A and B are shown apart, each in its own frame.
Chain A
Amino acid sequence: MPITYYITLSVVLFCIGVVGVLTRRNAIIIFMCVELMLNAVNLMLVAFSKMHNGNAIASAPNSTVGIDGQLFVFFIMVVAAAEVCVGLSIIVMMYRNTHSVDVNFLNRLKN
């Protein structure tokens, strides 16, 4: 499958994430959109890595060029899991304070 498809999918996912963050007010949905953007990037990283590796194998069957990109994705996933943990707990705290997860209520930085 050509790399173009992966890129297109990844860009579409990323844009959905951006639009979601910009338009929604529910903190949980915004958070999910952020995760969506993160994973769009992850997808792109894996796709490029595989493309790179495929090109290298064509000339040398045992080549490991580009493998490190795929390894990186695992690390990103681990960090993202930790980040989700922190983000969700912030949202829990927010709900406890305002009894809502609507970000528009949090405007104390105004002016």
Chain B
Amino acid sequence: MGLIGCGVILASFAVSLGIFFEVKQDGFQPQVITLFEFIKLPAFTIPFAFQVDQLSSLFLLIITGVGFLIHVYSTAYMQEEEDEHYGRYFSYLNLFVFSMLLLVLGANYVIMFIGWEGVGLCSYLLIGFWFKNNNYNYAARKAFVMNRIGDLGFLLAVFWILGKLGTVNYSDVFANASTFSTFEVTAITLLLFVGAMGKSAQIPLYTWLPDAMAGPTPVSALIHAATMVTAGIYMIVRSNVLYNMAPVTQTVVAVIGLATAFLAATIALKQNDIKKVLAYSTVSQLGYMFLGLGVGAYTGAVFHVMTHAFFKALLFLGAGSVIHAMHHEQDIRSMGGLKKYLPITHITFLLACLAISGIPPFSGFFSKDEILAAAYEHNKVLWVVGVITAGMTAFYMFRLYAMTFLGQFRGTHEQEHHLHESPSAMTIPLIILAILSVVGGFVGIPEVFAPNAHALEHFLSPVIAKSSEAAHGLDHGTEYMLMGVSVGLAVIAIIYAWTRFSKKPEIAEPQGAGKFFAEKWYVDELYDAIVARPLLAMANFFKNVIEKSGIDGIVNGVGRGVNYAGRQIRLMQSGQVGNYILLMVLSMVLMIILVFYGNNLNPILNYFSK
């Protein structure tokens, strides 16, 4: 089963590589392949069509490449599962890759929406993979419901476009984008952004992603870090023509992205579950990508999607390796000193931490720097908050690293006895991803280091209208200064975290502000109080009052009325022949009256027969 599961993804990867090299040639025009008419109405037709261009081919590579490595990793990680669940796991995972490819390959918003729903379904199925645990099922349900809220926005935007233009094909929509009024384009882009909020876990719809860690760890790596959650970014980059026309939306996107990045980073500072830290870090990095989109650095956002896919998948798989070795222990307070037991996991995890912290020359540095430079150009406040968040990122990643791999082992003796490096099916993907995390940034070298070396920007220029022109407005001195500040802050945070947590791990329950962060700003409780409880109270009201006394009252009342009428009418059945005959005679007299004087009664009869 593992062989089929991995093999098909490997084949897709090979095809994607072929497509990539074809697309890479100069003068490549986007190819649209129409299979059949999906919806055909007099007013409009929606073809079932695929589009291959620079953007989709890049996403194809990320999805199938990282997807393949994670499939290989899963063959070992899920080994303990029984056969039927093992098969179920791979079928879900393959279905996910299928839906994700549909999402990025669609040539119109409707096909994208099909893939969009497909990945949401697979996410639901895989979060609740261990369905015997009810908490996991709740987490799956939460993810699904929150995604649905976002999907509604997406769907409304698609309807709006369809109603206005009569087409949802990308090429037609973007060619006719100028027919939208400012209000319309702002509303449409905001609605699309609501969809992206749900899928890509932005404020206010982000709380499902940390809970989604209930799924198996490779699932967290593939779906909730590397691919699905970046669907929102893909969608906005795809619609960049519309977003460029709506500066209000861009501001909203940037502010929400940055706020999410900051909020999630503060929460990640105090989490003790290894996967929760990574989950909040994912939310935070997604916030960065939206910041990039909001300030017009579309290339930077896609670049960060790519590097983030490498190092975050690596971090999750490394965490999976640790969890595997620790026999499903996820609390970093009972880890420590794993460096000597898991050497390969340790090295690759360290490289990923350096990459996400933005230390040159690792990949995260280049992509994060590009977004921050664009933010600086746009508004200096955005940059300041962004850099502080980057410092926090470095801090919590190295807190995680130090508490997991440095110091003394704090688990039980039995756990210590069983510690072992993972099998090669797990370590080889780690090594490949580590290499990619280290060198992945070189496709986007900023202009200050080498002119015209930004290969990614060159590659994506045909699909992005005004590609991150902001970043080029800075002079070199300012750009060096920006890099210096962010790298310096990250290095200080790393040294501080390293020295503090390797010797004296943070075991005690946090107090004050720390407790506030550890409790996730009480956002779940807030949602519970303002959304869930009023809804439940309303449902209870309807159930206990409206249904019990209203609807049931009517239904039972009809029954009781018929019953009562029957009891009363029964008394007419006296058994006295005389009464029967009297009634018969009276009825006959009535009939005779009706027959003979019927014409005069017609108005009355007509009234009743109407």
Nearest chain B residue, comparing its CB with the CB of A19? B585
Closest CB in chain A relative to B482 CB, distance in Å: 99
Q: How far is the CA of A25 from the CA of B576 in the complex (A)?
A: 10
Flag if B581 contacts A108 (CB, 8 Å): no
Flag if A110 contacts B573 (CB, 8 Å): yes
Q: Any chain B CB within 8 A of the CB of A59?
A: no
Flag if B577 contacts A106 (CB, 8 Å): yes
Chain A interface mostly: loop
Q: Any chain A CB within 8 A of the CB of B578?
A: yes
Closest CB in chain A relative to B564 CB, distance in Å: 16
Flag if A22 contacts B575 (CB, 8 Å): no
Q: Any chain A CB within 8 A of the CB of B25?
A: no
A104 contact from B571, B576, B585, Cβ within 8 A: B576
Q: Any chain A CB within 8 A of the CB of B328?
A: no
Return the CB mask of A18-34 against B: 1 if under 8 Å, else 0.
10011001000000000
Chain A positions 44-102 with a Cβ under 8 Å from a chain B Cβ: none
Chain B positions 551-610 with a Cβ under 8 Å from a chain A Cβ: 570-571, 573-578, 581-582, 585
Q: How far is the CA of A18 from the CA of B585 in the complex (A)?
A: 8
Closest CB in chain B relative to A7 CB, distance in Å: 16
Flag if B575 contacts A109 (CB, 8 Å): yes
Q: How far is the CA of A25 from the CA of B582 in the complex (A)?
A: 13
Complex contacts, B574 vs chain A, CB 8 Å: 107, 110
Flag if B577 contacts A103 (CB, 8 Å): yes
Q: How far is the CA of A104 from the CA of B580 in the complex (A)?
A: 12
B575 contact from A18, A21, A111, Cβ within 8 A: A111
Flag if B576 contacts A22 (CB, 8 Å): no
Flag if B582 contacts A107 (CB, 8 Å): no
Closest CB in chain A relative to B591 CB, distance in Å: 15
Q: How far is the CA of A107 from the CA of B573 in the complex (A)?
A: 10
Complex contacts, B578 vs chain A, CB 8 Å: 22, 25, 103-104
Complex contacts, B585 vs chain A, CB 8 Å: 18, 22
Q: How far is the CA of A39 from the CA of B97 in the complex (A)?
A: 97
Complex contacts, A18 vs chain B, CB 8 Å: 585
Q: How far is the CA of A107 from the CA of B577 in the complex (A)?
A: 8
Flag if A21 contacts B576 (CB, 8 Å): no
Q: How far is the CA of A109 from the CA of B573 in the complex (A)?
A: 7
Complex contacts, A108 vs chain B, CB 8 Å: 575
Flag if B582 contacts A22 (CB, 8 Å): yes
Closest CB in chain A relative to B408 CB, distance in Å: 92
Q: How far is the CA of A18 from the CA of B584 in the complex (A)?
A: 11
Flag if B577 contacts A111 (CB, 8 Å): no
Q: How far is the CA of A104 from the CA of B582 in the complex (A)?
A: 14
Flag if B582 contacts A111 (CB, 8 Å): no
Closest CB in chain B relative to A66 CB, distance in Å: 24
Closest CB in chain B relative to A10 CB, distance in Å: 16
Nearest chain B residue, comparing its CB with the CB of A103? B577
Closest CB in chain A relative to B567 CB, distance in Å: 10
Q: How far is the CA of A14 from the CA of B335 in the complex (A)?
A: 112
Nearest chain B residue, comparing its CB with the CB of A106? B577
Complex contacts, B571 vs chain A, CB 8 Å: 111
Complex contacts, A103 vs chain B, CB 8 Å: 576-578
Chain B positions 51-93 with a Cβ under 8 Å from a chain A Cβ: none
Flag if A111 contacts B581 (CB, 8 Å): no
Q: How far is the CA of A106 from the CA of B577 in the complex (A)?
A: 8
Q: How far is the CA of A106 from the CA of B574 in the complex (A)?
A: 11
Complex contacts, B575 vs chain A, CB 8 Å: 106-111
Complex contacts, B573 vs chain A, CB 8 Å: 109-111
Complex contacts, A110 vs chain B, CB 8 Å: 573-576
Nearest chain B residue, comparing its CB with the CB of A21? B581
Closest CB in chain A relative to B203 CB, distance in Å: 73
Q: How far is the CA of A21 from the CA of B577 in the complex (A)?
A: 10
Closest CB in chain A relative to B588 CB, distance in Å: 10
Q: How far is the CA of A18 from the CA of B586 in the complex (A)?
A: 11
Complex contacts, B582 vs chain A, CB 8 Å: 22
Q: How far is the CA of A17 from the CA of B581 in the complex (A)?
A: 12
Q: How far is the CA of A108 from the CA of B581 in the complex (A)?
A: 16
Closest CB in chain A relative to B213 CB, distance in Å: 72
Closest CB in chain B relative to A21 CB, distance in Å: 6
Nearest chain A residue, comparing its CB with the CB of B577? A103
Nearest chain A residue, comparing its CB with the CB of B588? A18
A107 contact from B570, B576, B581, Cβ within 8 A: B576
Closest CB in chain B relative to A33 CB, distance in Å: 10
Flag if A22 contacts B581 (CB, 8 Å): yes
Closest CB in chain A relative to B114 CB, distance in Å: 67
Q: How far is the CA of A21 from the CA of B576 in the complex (A)?
A: 13
28 residue pairs from A and B, CB less than 8 Å apart: A18-B585, A21-B581, A22-B578, A22-B581, A22-B582, A22-B585, A25-B578, A103-B576, A103-B577, A103-B578, A104-B576, A104-B577, A104-B578, A106-B575, A106-B577, A107-B574, A107-B575, A108-B575, A109-B573, A109-B575, A110-B573, A110-B574, A110-B575, A110-B576, A111-B570, A111-B571, A111-B573, A111-B575
Which A residues form the contact surface with B (CB < 8 A)?
18, 21-22, 25, 103-104, 106-111
Which B residues form the contact surface with A (CB < 8 A)?
570-571, 573-578, 581-582, 585
Q: A104-B576, A111-B573 are in contact. List 19 more A-B contacts (CB 8 A).
A: A18-B585, A21-B581, A22-B578, A22-B581, A25-B578, A103-B577, A104-B577, A104-B578, A106-B575, A106-B577, A107-B574, A107-B576, A108-B575, A109-B573, A109-B575, A110-B573, A110-B574, A110-B575, A111-B575
- What 6 A-B pairs are tightest by C-beta distance, nearest first? A110-B575, A107-B575, A109-B575, A103-B577, A111-B570, A111-B573
